[in-house]
Amino acid sequence: MRKTQVNVDRLWATLMTHAEIGKLESGGICRETLTDVDKQGRDLFVQWCRDESLDVGIDEMGTIYATRPGTNSSLDPIAIGSHLDTQPTGGKFDGILGVLGGLEVIRTLNRAGIQTRRPITLINWTNEEGSRFQPSMVSSGVYAGVLTMADVAEIADADGIGFFEALEKIGYTGNEPVGARKFHSYLELHIEQGPVLEDEDTMIGVVTGAQAMSWNRFTVRGRESHAGTTPMSSRLDAMASANRLIARSFDLGNGIDDGRATVGVVRTEPASHNTIPHTVHFTLDMRHPDDVELARMIADLEVAVEEEHALGFEVSREEFGTAPAVRFDETCVDAIRDAAVEMGYSHRDIVSGAGHDAVYVSRVCPTAMVFTPCAGGISHNPIESITPEQAKAGVDVLLGATLRMADK
Amino acid sequence: MRKTQVNVDRLWATLMTHAEIGKLESGGICRETLTDVDKQGRDLFVQWCRDESLDVGIDEMGTIYATRPGTNSSLDPIAIGSHLDTQPTGGKFDGILGVLGGLEVIRTLNRAGIQTRRPITLINWTNEEGSRFQPSMVSSGVYAGVLTMADVAEIADADGIGFFEALEKIGYTGNEPVGARKFHSYLELHIEQGPVLEDEDTMIGVVTGAQAMSWNRFTVRGRESHAGTTPMSSRLDAMASANRLIARSFDLGNGIDDGRATVGVVRTEPASHNTIPHTVHFTLDMRHPDDVELARMIADLEVAVEEEHALGFEVSREEFGTAPAVRFDETCVDAIRDAAVEMGYSHRDIVSGAGHDAVYVSRVCPTAMVFTPCAGGISHNPIESITPEQAKAGVDVLLGATLRMADK
């Protein structure tokens, strides 16, 4: 077992202290991005960084970078971090564990007097959640060149307040151009937000990449008619057609390892209990860790759509969101896996099913992630929960991986 | 071929003249019950009845009874009729054909100088449609004792105007207690509102009864989780469960002759495209001409519900509407079938899939119905359409059946 481990009591106390900011009665946090509560959370974080003698910089998206020097500070730093903003009814760990866990890594190094070859930069990305300002992961998106500052200038919240206006209001408009800082690599610790680690009683997820994803809106058109007077054989029932397509979608998701199919929204028209619907709208979220397999699932679905066309239905599919599979950097992934092995934590490779800042950052910088279990896989919910031991294990592995990468 | 036939030109002209009242640009009619337009339609009808020397009475529900004497006026009359009110975007024939076709029967008898043993009473039932004031078929409901006057006193339209207030306003509050008039039998001519007669190129439907019906609201509860992070095997996806139940419902509808299954409304919660729904609500309208078969369909469905329970889903079924199968009176049915045969019209027995005043009246009086085809089976729509020949055939059969019953 490695001798340098993080301090679980300090880590947990830090998490709980910070969780007071925006605390909900339900036990969770409401700390949407660029609100006064977000400002309080940032202020406390910045204070804690300064207490550790970190050099704090802020970029034009409000992302905070706090750097601990290396023995060779001309080298690109190792970046670690995540986000401190939450959903309107969020939990205490989603994102936050990655930032405050990163702080615990710094504190541990400082207390133990450990020097690293490369600097270490702790990051709090602005607006990962995307609940107040869409889209999500907006600052890492600009950092990675997926979005531009001009795109962000168009973004406003439900009250019409612009992103940059809100950023200015809380005093976190920095002067660093986004993306000006280059990193040797980026490591992000996050709760899994799924049930796999808990179900398998595994402490550490070594995240090797992110799923490919396809978001689709289907519209099925048949013929409206009377539920009583129209024999089954005379119907062009849009719901019957949609139900077959939905069944096929689930079959495709179930039929392949690591496939996912989710029908989150279904809506009928005219939505009368005794009228056969002329139209059904539904969404289909399909995912797979492999682009080729996802494409095959969608091709199979197109066969099902053709079958409905042959029966007389009009079916349209609009793909309104898509993301290719992401493979994280092998050196980073190995550093995380090796750290877990060294610390004696049970671990498994896992593919992220959720979006993360790391997914964007991986486009411009070697990246990997560490997952810890969370109770019932539940996230984006005040009851989101992890144990101090799970938090410690995740931060221990982050520490070990950071040390490995910092000396490369 | 019977020598006494109705006059198609007069019949069609009468239908078209009356269709001017509440005429829509789309070609249909907006003549919701107890509106000023309804009053105009009633006034013209009453005028036409008086022109035929009929004795007009009105009951406390505003239902109009116009009677032609028989040779023995102490006998209970034969009643014929339907309704003159329409849906807000209704057609020119739904209900109206039964009333104005009945008028054409009277006119034909008057012109031909034919006397009948029993009197004949032509009826316009108030508020069959139920669009402005729910429920539908309200005056025949009170006539048959299914509803009470006290029930009706509770009914108001969307603007808060009470049923009786609206009736008073158009001057059609009669002084006859509802149900005071007894009839020997009741015959109602109506468009089919379904595709069967047209599809089979058949002129006359001899309606032997009405389907048994069961209206159900299902609520399926599973577990909300993340569309990306939750493996298929870890899900309790309420939509997957609902998809199986809906498929089973359609299988049951398709699996038996004359079965019907309609899922008109589907709604997911939380209705986010990347969240597995925790809850799905859907409606299921199931019908069959035979109570026993309908009960068997529902019992089969309960087996499917139990299967979902076994998988961990919570499924509740609320039956919010039900109607037993109705078998019309054999003598009345025979009179209609015999009249069709005598006139040489193609005909078939058929079970009504829609609600009609006749269904309520059949509870207190021997009843049957005549159906004529309508284009595409389409009704409750301005494009509702029949040909003059189809109208004539229906009224010819109504005439023949009326003469048969009037001499019994």
Indicate the pTM of the whole model. 0.88
The length of chain A is: 408
The pLDDT tens digits of the residues spanning B162-216 come to 999 999 999 999 999 999 999 999 999 999 999 999 999 999 999 999 999 999 9
- With CA atoms as reference, report the closest residue to B395 among B387, B384, B407: B387
- Degrees to nearest 5, angle at CA B305 with B304 and B309: 120
- State the residue for tokens 């019906």: B213
Q: Topology of domain B8-210+325-406, per CATH?
A: Aminopeptidase (3.40.630)
Q: Which residues lie closer than 8 Å to B310 by C-beta, 6 or more apart? A: none
CB atoms within 10 A of CB A84: 26
Note the CATH number of domain B212-323: 3.30.70.360
Q: Do B354 and A226 touch (CB under 8 A)?
A: yes
* Distance between B9 CA and the closest CA of chain A, angstroms: 30
The separation between CA A101 and the C-alpha centre of its own chain, rounded to angstroms, equals 17
CB contact under 8 A, A264 and B276: yes
Rounded CA separation A358/A374 (Å): 19
The two beta strands, B275-276 and B185-191, are unpaired
pLDDT of residue B1: 46
Contact A151, A94 (CB under 8 A): no
Question: pLDDT digits over B309-361, tens only?
Answer: 999 999 999 999 999 999 999 999 999 999 999 999 999 999 999 899 999 99
- Chains A, B: CB pairs < 8 Å: 200
Taking each helix axis from N to C end, the angle separating A330-343 and A388-406, rounded to the nearest 10 degrees, works out to 130
Q: Which of A226, A243, A244 sits opposite B194 (nearest CB)?
A: A226
Residues of B in Cβ contact (< 8 Å) with A217: 273
Torsion of CA B385, B389, B392, B393, to 10 degrees: -100
Alpha helices by DSSP H, listed for B144-237, are 149-153, 163-169, 196-199
| pLDDT in the model for residue A3 | 65
**Structure tokens belonging to residue A209:** 């990449």
Closest CA to A79 of A140, A13, A156, A38: A140
Residue spans of alpha helices (H) in B113-232: 138-143, 149-153, 163-169, 196-199
What pLDDT sits at residue B408? 86
Nearest to A229 among B232, B237, B353 (CB): B353
Name the closest residue on chain A to residue B265, using Cα atoms: A271
pLDDT at A380: 87
Q: Which candidate, B223, B270, B220, B243, places its Cα nearest to that of A194?
A: B223
Per-residue pLDDT of chain B (408 residues; tens, 9 = 90+): 456 899 999 999 999 999 999 999 989 999 999 999 999 999 999 999 999 999 999 999 999 999 999 999 899 999 999 999 999 999 999 999 999 999 999 999 999 999 999 999 999 999 999 999 999 999 999 999 999 999 999 999 999 999 999 999 999 999 999 999 999 999 999 999 999 999 999 999 999 999 999 999 999 999 998 999 999 999 999 999 999 999 999 999 999 999 999 999 999 999 999 999 999 999 999 999 999 999 999 999 999 999 999 999 999 999 999 999 999 999 999 999 999 999 999 999 999 998 999 999 999 999 999 999 999 998 889 999 999 999 999 999 999 999 999 988
pLDDT of residue A408: 86
- Paired with B82 in beta bridges are B124
Measured between alpha carbons, how far is B62 from B49 in angstroms, rounded to an integer?
Answer: 16
Is residue B72 a contact partner of residue B58, using CB atoms and an 8 Å limit?
A: no
A276/B260 touch (CB, cutoff 8 Å), yes or no: no
ipTM of the complex: 0.89
| Domain segments of chain A as ranges | 8-210+325-406, 212-323
Q: Verify whether the Cβ–Cβ distance B196 to A266 is below 8 Å.
A: no
Residue of B nearest to A228 (CA): B353
**Which residue ranges in chain A fall short of pLDDT 50?**
1
